[in-house]
Amino acid sequence: MTAEHYNISNEEYHLIKNLVYDRFGIDLGSKKQSLVTGRLQKILNTGGFKTFEAYYHFILEDQSGQALSTLVDRISTNHTFFFRENEHFEFLRTEILPELKARLSKTGDQSLRIWSAGCSSGEEPYTLAIVLREFFGLDFSNWDIRILATDISANVLKKAQDGVYPKEALQTLDGRLINKYFISDQDDNFQARASLKDFILFRRLNLMREDYPFRQKFHLILCRNVMIYFDQPTREVLTEKFHRYLRPDSYLFIGHAESLGRGNPYFKYIKPAIYYRTDQE
Ligand SMILES: C[S@@+](CC[C@H](N)C(=O)[O-])C[C@H]1O[C@@H](n2cnc3c(N)ncnc32)[C@H](O)[C@@H]1O
């Protein structure tokens, strides 16, 4: 049986666009009509919906939230890779970690909390885990280090949690790190070792929530290539929230194509895509 092709009307596009904006902050704008049509074809076909409007009402009526979850899985852009925007990891290794290690050692509180917000399929938190393992070396076990990795998409989170990547996904990693932190199988898939997985906690979380369910604040938050899909008011609200969940003297990384603006009241600009929370609580 050949799959049916569904066209979306302007009204239907607006319904879906507004729903995605209200629930997830993702601003599809006015020009993503064909992208949305393409990405949702399969759902309409397999779900037996006659029109996009029928699909829209189905999502609204679905109390389980599963339909909404499937929608965002299809709509969100999940592109990512290991050591993406490597300047961040260099800055972490050469500036932030030495400074934090010295500062925290003095206080006797050897715990370090990092949040990868919008972690997609896990390459970002696993990269962080590698950098941390490499930096602390044998001293790692004397520290209480945790990475929280969250995303709205259940689909990519499952991949992140599995931590299994095809060989091509590891091309930005050098051979020594691959051997040290991954185990390969006969199909040339590479599984992240427990030495990385054990200190990453993966959770589904919508950044649009009013509050986040975190007990501890972070020394570093990475929210890279996520806000690019949000409009300016949404970015501002989110930036204020990141400020709330960061400790004093902590850091925020955003994507290199993104900016908080140099006059941002919550953060001091350090260098492109790197900000510092200086104020006290
Ligand atoms: C392009 S990926 C970025 C991945 C990684 N941070 C990087 O820079 O490579 C953007 C991610 O943001 C997630 N995302 C979009 N809207 C979100 C929301 N409202 N709450 C949580 N995550 C969201 C998407 O599901 C997607 O996995």
What's the 168 CA to ligand 1 centre distance in angstroms? 21
Q: How far is the CA of 203 from the centre of ligand 1 (A)?
A: 13
Per-residue pLDDT for 280 more than 80?
Answer: no
Q: Are strands 246-254 and 274-277 parallel, antiparallel or unpaired?
A: antiparallel
Give the pLDDT confidence score for residue 278 in this predicted structure.
79
Q: What is the residue-averaged pLDDT of the chain?
A: 95
Whose Cα sits closest to atom 10 in ligand 1?
A: 226
Residues 227, 259: contact at Cβ < 8 Å? no
**Among positive and negative, which fits the CA dihedral 130, 134, 138, 142?**
negative
Cα 152 off chain centre by:
8
For ligand 1, pick from 20, 27, 73, 76 the residue to mutate: most ligand atoms within 8 Å of CB.
76
DSSP string, 59-84: HHH-TTSHHHHHHHHHHS-----TTT
Residue type, 56: Y
d(CA 196, CA 160): 12
Domains, the chain, in order of start with CATH, read 10-75 (1.10.155.10), 86-277 (3.40.50.150)
Count CB neighbours of 27 within 10 A.
Answer: 17
pLDDT tens column, 126-151: 999 999 999 999 999 999 999 999 99
Look at ligand 1, atom 11, and give the residue with the nearest C-alpha.
Answer: 118
Distance CA 7, CA 38 (A): 9
Q: State the Cα–Cα distance between residues 82 and 120, nearest whole angstrom.
A: 11
Using the mean position of ligand 1's atoms as its centre, give its distance from the Cα of residue 136 in Å: 28
SS3 at position 251: strand
pLDDT at 1: 60
Which of 119, 128, 151 best tests ligand 1's pocket when mutated (most atoms within 8 Å of CB)?
151
> Amino acid letter at 227?
M
State residue 134's pLDDT score.
Answer: 98
> pTM of the entire structure?
0.96
Cβ-contact 188, 164 below 8 angstroms: no
Query: What digits encode the pLDDT tens for the residues 170-227?
Result: 999 999 999 999 999 989 999 999 999 999 999 999 999 999 999 999 999 999 999 9
Q: Flag whether pLDDT at 261 surpasses 80.
A: no
Binning the chain into helix, strand and coil, the percentages to the nearest 5 are 45, 20, 35
Q: Could you tell me which of 151, 239, 155 has the C-alpha nearest to residue 203? A: 151
